[in-house]
Amino acid sequence: MKKLLFLLLVFSATSCGDDGANGSSEDWTIPVEEVFDGGPGKDGIPSVDNPQFESFQSIDYLNDKDLVIGVFRNGIAGKAYPHPILDWHEIVNDNIGDLNFALTYCPLTGTGVSWNRDIDGETTTFGVSGKLYNTNLIPYDRLTDSYWSQLRLDCVSGSLIDRKIETTQIIETTWATWKAAYPNAVVMNTDTGFNRNYNNYPYGDYRTNDNNIIFPVSNLDTRLPAKERVLGVIEDSAQKVYSIELFDVPHVIEDNVAGIDNIVIGSKVANFIVAFEDPGMNDLTYVANQLPVIAQDADGNKLDLGGRITEGPRQGERLTPLNSFMGYFFAFGTFYEDMDVYEE
């Protein structure tokens, strides 16, 4: 019944495109007829603007397989934000020290992206506009009321149109992996200020049903199953995705995206993929059961999930993270029709 009510709410607005909350189609950089009203309306899905945190020992509402998104500051793990909360709120406005960021999550595309919310010297917050493009979240900023595309990583309507998003470093993994890697990091709790059942996933079989894509998309890439989880590396001139299925045996991939030599490290069992610019480490190989350390080179340098070299001759160095985040395969294929799919 809850799923049925949700679908009725969603489809109530899908029959007509939006002619632009900020004006006519000329005021948008995306086809306005492909912008759909998701149903709840502006701020109908409320962002969390005053998140509360606890130590992992105090968290009792998560299972080990639940996904969380961890935000890093200078390669150091800061805070974790669980999917069971993000599924209901989609945006959390927060900070770690002087890093002010909005953690945005779209349940329909499975994409979590963190970006800087300092704009032209002022700090804003982001909210859920209630609109979708290619079934993906369109946040708006409360400073200028401009509309942003999460997966395009830019502003698509308003006074900040064409402004690029400055992402911040994150990792998506399981609760079990996160707490094993970073037992001293704090985790967002359910004291959000809203009454929601965070033990209940509100989208029915959506995560596992490849045929259940609620809103229209402009291009459906079928090279991989629609809901297969992948890491998308998004650079200005090229994009490439790496499936979690590649890492049934955890290992290190040496690759190149947009002319940038990079390394991609993943484990399906531990449920993570991370990507960094290649630092020229000597024969880097995966390391198991030493979290947060995930790899070591022939010279004894040990690399952790955040890209820091924590031990060895190069201790103290930090790798540059690529602009990357996890999501459903169909979402990346819809937005980036020329993207590459990595194959071993």
Amino acid 25: pLDDT: 53
pLDDT of the residue at 2: 41
Question: How do residues 266-320 score in pLDDT, each as one tens digit?
Answer: 999 999 999 999 999 999 999 999 999 999 999 999 999 999 999 999 999 999 9
Query: What is the rounded average pLDDT for all residues in the chain?
Result: 92
Per-residue pLDDT tens for 155-188?
999 999 999 999 999 999 999 999 999 999 999 9
Output the pLDDT for position 85. Answer: 98
pTM of the model: 0.92
Percent of the chain clearing pLDDT 90 (strictly above): 90
pLDDT at 262: 97
234 vs 222: CA distance, rounded Å: 19
Please tell me the distance from the alpha carbon of residue 70 to that of residue 187, in angstroms, as a whole number. Answer: 9
Q: Residue 10: pLDDT band by 50, 70, 90 thresholds?
A: very low
pLDDT, average across residues 226-242: 95
Check whether 9 has a pLDDT greater than 70.
no
Q: What is the pLDDT of residues 61-114, one digit of tens each?
A: 999 999 999 999 999 999 999 999 999 999 999 999 999 999 999 999 999 999
Can you give the pLDDT at residue 60? 92
Quickly state the pLDDT bin for 40 (edges 50, 70, 90).
Answer: confident
pLDDT band at 6 (very low <50, low <70, confident <90, very high): very low
Query: What is the pLDDT at residue 237?
Result: 85
What average pLDDT score do residues 6-35 get? 58
Which residues, 6+ apart, have CB-to-CB distance to 334 below 8 Å?
Answer: 134, 135, 136, 151, 217, 218, 219, 220, 221
Cis previous bond, 292, omega within 30: yes
User: How far is Cα 35 from Cα 147, in angstroms, rounded to an integer?
Assistant: 11
Q: What pLDDT was estimated at residue 4? A: 33
